[in-house]
Amino acid sequence: MKVRVDPDRCQGHTLCAMAAPEVFELSDIDGHATAVVEDVPAHLEENVREAARSCPEQAIEIS
């Protein structure tokens, strides 16, 4: 599984970082998230799916 955050959609709601703190990091500058893990390890996949479901902006892209 691969994951990325669409920087144009992210509005800094932070729910992704709560669901999968190992994968999503919030910028100190604008509060927007980036995925610091591109290839998601199997044991974090469910957390990443949960993050994608919880993002109000649908900014998290899973492939």
Can you give the binding site for ligand F3S, defined by CB under 6 A? 5, 10-16, 32-33, 55, 57, 59-60
Smaller CB separation from ligand F3S, 13 or 42: 13
Smaller CB separation from ligand F3S, 45 or 57: 57
User: Who's near 49: CB < 8 A, 6+ residues apart?
Assistant: 62
Minimum distance of ligand F3S from residue 2's CB (angstroms): 15
Q: How far is CA 25 from CA 13, 16, in A?
A: 12, 9
Give the Cα separation of 22 and 44 in Å (integer).
Answer: 8
Minimum distance of ligand F3S from residue 58's CB (angstroms): 8
